[in-house]
Structure 1
Amino acid sequence: MSLKPGFEAALPETEHAELFGDFDPEEHTAEAERRWGASPAWEESRRRMSSLSKQDWRRFLAEAADISARLAAVMRAGAPADGEQAMDLAEEHRAHLTRWCYTCTFEIHRGLGDLYVTDPRFTASIDRVAPGLAGYLQAAIHANAVRHDA
């Protein structure tokens, strides 16, 4: 997850530390802006994320953790990534991003899924929930897009 410039203006430093610990999303802003700064999704995300309150951030992070935990449980249970349960959770993931960040099209979602396995920072973060989860999520995202003819 990359956060956009201006988000820290909405959160005092003490609240930032409380929510994110040692992780500083702003460290990745320049890279994210280079990659996606010209896109409508970047502008939408920048506008929306910068207006979130501390409580909004808590809900956003809790929802993300819940989706990850349920996806990990489905993976551990042996359900295929292209099965109904995993695809439904991939769709929840896409809807979560749309609700909080930007309009996450199936094309954007597939790109994120690929990023989750090609960027070791994302892979490590996602796989902390369960080893192999990044690849499983990527496969579920792709299968969900196919299911929706996207």
Structure 2
Amino acid sequence: MKPEEELEGFDPSKYAEEAEARWGHTEAYAESQRRAKGYREEDWQTIQSQVDANVRAFAALFQSRVPARDPRAMDLAEEHRQHIDRWFYACSYSAHVGLSRLYVSDERFAAYYEKHAAGLTQFIADAIAANAQRYGEGTG
């Protein structure tokens, strides 16, 4: 499997039609498509290694029973948001909270996080919401 196919545990081509149907009308989708077209294999490897490191760090905090509102968890949530912002599309705090809700509600996303630790998906979503509140964006 190519590095870009491993991102977030998904083969993007498998979900391309669904993604376009859901978000194809948005600027974020267009921006993400534009950026991704320019990435080389090394970029995809970097993206994936950053995702993996972030998830492992979240899992370590979660397994250590650190609360999602702890600054360390919120810092990881901010790192996650900035990763999306840097590599894919401008990710506001409210968009990030919406994305975290998708992680919880869509079993395909949840499976990716849950393979690291049972309950991790909700922990990440809670840390993302806390981070948004920390920066005055709320969870709208």
Return the TM-score normalized by structure 2. Answer: 0.91
Decide whether aligned partners of structure 1 residues 50 and 137 sit closer, same or farther in structure 2, where only a CA change above 3 A counts.
Answer: same
Residue in structure 2 matching 1:51, options 38, 52, 71: 38
After the TM superposition, which of the residue ranges 42-51 and 20-29 deviates more from structure 2? Answer: 20-29
Aligned to 1:74: 61
Of residues 86, 91, 101, the one that matches 1:114 is 101
Query: 1:147 corresponds to which residue?
Result: 134
Aligned to 1:83, which of 49, 62, 70?
A: 70
Q: Distance in 2 between matches of 1:133 and 1:49?
A: 27
Q: Residue 104 in 1 paired to residue 91 in 2? A: yes
Q: Which runs of 5+ in 2 are unaligned?
A: none
Q: Does 1:24 align with 2:15?
A: no
Determine which of 46, 51, 55 is the counterpart of 1:64: 51
Q: CA deviation at 1:23?
A: 5.0
Secondary structure of the residue that 1:80 maps to in structure 2? coil
- The one-letter amino acid of 1:77's match is S
Secondary structure at the aligned position of 2:90 is classed as coil
> Percent identity at matched positions?
40
Distance in structure 2 (CA, Å) of the matches to 1:87 and 1:127: 19
Rounded Cα–Cα distance in structure 2 between residues aligned with 1:110 and 1:18: 29
Change (3 A) 1:23 1:35: closer
Gaps of 5+ in 1: 1-16
> Displacement, 1:46?
0.3
> Is the radius of gyration larger for structure 1 or structure 2?
1
> Alignment RMSD, CA only?
1.4
Q: Using the TM superposition, name which of 59-68 and 20-29 deviates more.
A: 20-29
Match of 1:137 in 2: 124
Cα displacement (A) at 1:49:
0.9
- In 2, Cα distance between equivalents of 1:112 and 1:129: 19
Pairs aligned (count):
134
